[in-house]
Structure 1
């Protein structure tokens, strides 16, 4: 039985090797093409699948746009700088943060990089993505489907 494709949310292990990157890029293209086909057949943007699984849908959109996901090491420490998608504060929403290991400068580049995430989601269509500044000045994007 083949493994099920899962988009990178930024909470998984860091990838390894160039061959893996090539294989992963092909898997992402195939998965995103499938998502676009679901949209075409269902006549909705975002599709019902996206509305029911916003974390996976947003992560797939960001990964397909070529944005790097964050990653965690074996001990759960942040091992790579990039986006992290998690459940939002309300059902059907997602939250995007820009995270990295201590000393990576992720917090300093968060505004610019999260604006790129907003642009990718807007280009895909169907999402309302708003950039916020939260506690301690940390930036994040709240994403919800357009009606």
Structure 2
């Protein structure tokens, strides 16, 4: 029995370069687009309208979109230390929102590249019907707040 597919959220050990991972991500993303076409057939571009299930599983949907775009996910060791630089997707402060951060190990330069990298994440998400707003948090840290677009 194999484990169920989980998109990389940037927490935990991360997916690494497991054999077949790219094919799993591609298949999951194609399935997501197929669901969108079925649930929004009247839309001008049905693939750019998040499906209802995505809105209820926003962390998973946004993580899949970012991983499928080829952006790297962050990762952390069991003790919480960051071991890889990339995006991290977590539940937002409001229902139906997620927070996307750009994190990495100490000395990785992640904080210096965060704004540019988050803008890249926002471009991916905007193209898929999500609204992604860039904010400055405590101590100047940058993050995206993501929710379903209008």
TM interval, shorter chain, is over 0.9
Question: C-alpha displacement at 1:15, in angstroms?
Answer: 4.2
Deviations 1:3-36 (A, max 9, x none): 11100000020444x5x1x511110000000000
**RMSD over aligned Cα atoms:** 1.3
Matched pairs, number: 143
Paired position in structure 2 for 1:84: 88
- 2:8–2:14 CA contact under 8 A, matched in 1: no
Shift of 1:146: 1.4
User: 1:117-136 counterparts in 2 under 5 A?
Assistant: 117-124=121-128, 126-136=129-139
Residue 35 of structure 1 is aligned with which of 11, 18, 32? 32
Instruction: Work out the CA distance in 2 between the residues paired with 1:14 and 1:39.
Output: 27
Inter-CA distance 97–122: structure 2 relative to 1 (3 Å threshold):
same
1:60 aligns with 2:64: yes
Which 5+ residue runs of structure 2 have no aligned equivalent?
41-45
TM-score normalised according to structure 2 size: 0.91
Q: Is the 8 A contact 1:114 1:131 kept in 2?
A: yes
Contact 1:69–1:82 (Cα < 8 Å) also in 2: yes
Structure 1 spans left out of the alignment, 5+ residues = none
CA distance in 2 between partners of 1:14 and 1:29 (Å): 17
2:142 corresponds to: 139
Q: C-alpha offsets along residues 87-126 of structure 1, whole Å, 9 cap, x if unaligned?
A: 01100001000000001000000011000000110122x2
* 3-state SS, counterpart of residue 93 of structure 2: coil
For 1:80 and 1:72, locate their aligned partners in 2 and report how far apart those are by CA, in whole Å.
7
| Structure 1 ranges of 4+ moved more than 2 A | none
Match of 1:8, SS state, is coil
Query: Any conservation in 1 of the 2:8–2:15 contact (CA below 8 Å)?
Result: no
Which residue number corresponds to residue 43 of structure 2?
none
1:70 pairs with 2:82: no
Residue aligned with 1:7, SS: coil
